[in-house]
Amino acid sequence: MTDQNDILFERARAVIPGGVNSPVRAFKAVGGTPRFIKRAQGAYFWDANDKRYIDYIGSWGPMILGHGHPAVVEAVQKAVLEGFSYGAPTEREIELAEAILALVPSMDMVRLVSSGTEAAMSALRLARGATGRKSIIKFEGCYHGHADALLVKAGSGLATFGNPTSAGVPPEVVQHTVVLEYNNLQQLEEAFALHGNDLACLMIEAIAGNMNFVRATPEFAKRCRELCTQHGALLIFDEVMTGFRVGLHGAQGVLGVKPDLTVLGKVIGGGMPLAAFGGPRAIMEQLAPLGPVYQAGTLSGNPVATACGLATLKEISKPGFYEALGQKTRTLVDGLKAAAAAEGQPFNADSEGGMFGFFLMNDLPQNYATVMTTDNAQFNALFHGLLERGVYIAPALYEAGFVSAAHTDEDIAATIEAARDIFRKR
Ligand code: HOZ
């Protein structure tokens, strides 16, 4: 065995389940050996064989500035010299909270945590604690981290609650979770008619990034807001992926819909473990130590992570940042569409800000079931074709893609050319 990735994968599998610390990294969906990353800079990373890839996952979203942005590196280096973790409050936490609140007007207060899973789980508990209700609505294909109550697939009908999607989640734990089809207005109306009075919240990725890239239609997002208000349930936008990624004000800014609670992660940490959830003062003050809803964390508001997040927010707040990023991402998406069309391949794609998705079908899908009709073999061939040509996209067809400010016009053109070559040979 001479391939360094193969050697590392074998070693990893002996000591880490599946050889990875997060399942999608294992390439199980697409086959082959995961690339073990040695280093990254700008729009690129290099694997264990020193092969360079144009990186379109950007750590699954956080690396919006590209890898190793000098201002971020400097802020982190400075913070590290002052200590890694104190388990006590710092001024920098206040600065980051203030910076986040200035950009997300639906939030009066925010609590910092360490991962998107933790933030979503805590927002859910807060919604239940604040409303005194149990039931929740989520949508098939929306992922909100791996808290037990949210690892659920649809039950047999609207009147029934969901079924666990993971072993180790007792059915009793998901018995209050209703799972609906994304963008299905009729199901939404029926579910509120049936469960509205016991609903603590409706949680949604308003631009979903875990069934590739699927937008809630404006009517659907608006109706979610109206029905929550009407029934006294909280509307929670999970913006772990979309926050500061699709625009400076997230999916809520794009859609013009104001949620009650917002869940953030990824970009706010700039690549360090940092996430957050926030909303109106009256709800947030239900959290311990002020209120009865418990939530805590040793590494919450970590001084190095907050330095990284603050430096990142500063860069992305500069005038014109999202216009340039959005244009770059559109160039990629339009170029891929044109290349596929020229070779007569069924293909469609969409993007917002620095987030995109493409589909091996003619129409943009509206829900998870349609995304999953994608021909696996064709997606896998495209994935491996790109990988071979030095372009790294997510190793699963149900994941979104990410462009960073560091991607150059040449990177985008090279990516389109690589895809065209694969389409041509199909
Ligand atoms: N939660 C990510 C997929 N949407 C995967 C994170 C990772 O593997 O790093």
CATH label of the domain that carries residue 80: 3.40.640.10
Q: Are residues 356 and 208 in the same domain?
A: no
| Domain range for 266 | 70-316
Does residue 335 share a domain with residue 271? no
Round to whole Å and give the CA distance between 221 and 214. 13
Residues 64 and 74 in one domain: no
Per-residue confidence (pLDDT) for residue 158, from 0 to 100: 65
Give me ligand 1 centre to Cα 197, in Å: 34
Q: Cα-flanking dihedrals φ and ψ of residue 125, to 5°?
A: -60, -40
- Looking at the fold, whether 302 and 371 belong to one and the same domain comes out as no
Residue 133 CA to ligand 1 center (angstroms) comes to 31
Residue 156 clears pLDDT 70, i.e. is over it: no
Is the pLDDT score of 159 beyond 70? no
Identified catalytic residue from 47, 53, 266, 392? 266
Each residue of 387-424: pLDDT tens digit?
Answer: 999 999 999 999 999 999 999 999 999 999 999 999 99
363 is catalytic: no
How sure is the predictor about 373, in pLDDT bands with cuts at 50, 70 and 90? very high
CA 374 / ligand 1 centre spacing (Å): 20
Cα(366)–Cα(222) distance, integer angstroms: 16
Query: What gap in Å lies between CA 383 and CA 350, rounded to an integer?
Result: 18
Cα gap 142→413, rounded to integer Å: 31
Whether this prediction's pTM lies above 0.95 is answered by yes
Task: Work out which ligand 1 atom sits closest to the CA atom of 143.
Answer: 4
Determine which one of 47, 55, 238, 260 is catalytic: 238
Mean pLDDT of 220-240: 98
DSSP-assigned letter for residue 314: H
Instruction: Output phi, psi for 12, to 5 deg.
Output: -65, -40
Give the per-residue pLDDT at 308: 98
231 shares its domain with 285: yes
Ligand 1 centre distance from Cα of residue 194 (Å): 34
Give the residue from 291, 316, 341 where a domain finishes: 316
- For residues 120 and 53, membership in a common domain is answered with no
pLDDT of residue 161: 76
Q: Region 197-202: what's the mean pLDDT?
A: 97
Q: Which of 273, 294, 316 is the last residue of a domain?
A: 316
Same domain, 158 and 263: yes
Our answer to whether residue 47 is catalytic in this structure is no
Please report, for the domain that includes residue 333, its CATH number. Answer: 3.90.1150.10
Q: State the total domains in the chain.
A: 2
Could you tell me if 161 and 34 lie in one domain?
no
Residues 39 and 170 in one domain: no
pLDDT one-digit tens code per residue, 311-341: 999 999 999 999 999 999 999 999 999 999 9
Instruction: Quick: pLDDT tens for 247-272.
Output: 999 999 999 999 999 999 999 999 99
User: Is 128 in the same domain as 232?
Assistant: yes
Taking residues 185-209, what's their average pLDDT? 97
Closest atom of ligand 1 to 209 CA is 4
Last residue of a domain, one of 275, 295, 316: 316
Q: Which of the four pLDDT bands, split at 50, 70 and 90, describes residue 154?
A: confident
Looking only at the bridges linking them, the beta strands covering 355-359 and 401-402 are: antiparallel
Residue 50 shares a structural domain with residue 191: no
- Residues of the chain with pLDDT > 70, as a percent, come to 99
DSSP type of residue 356: E
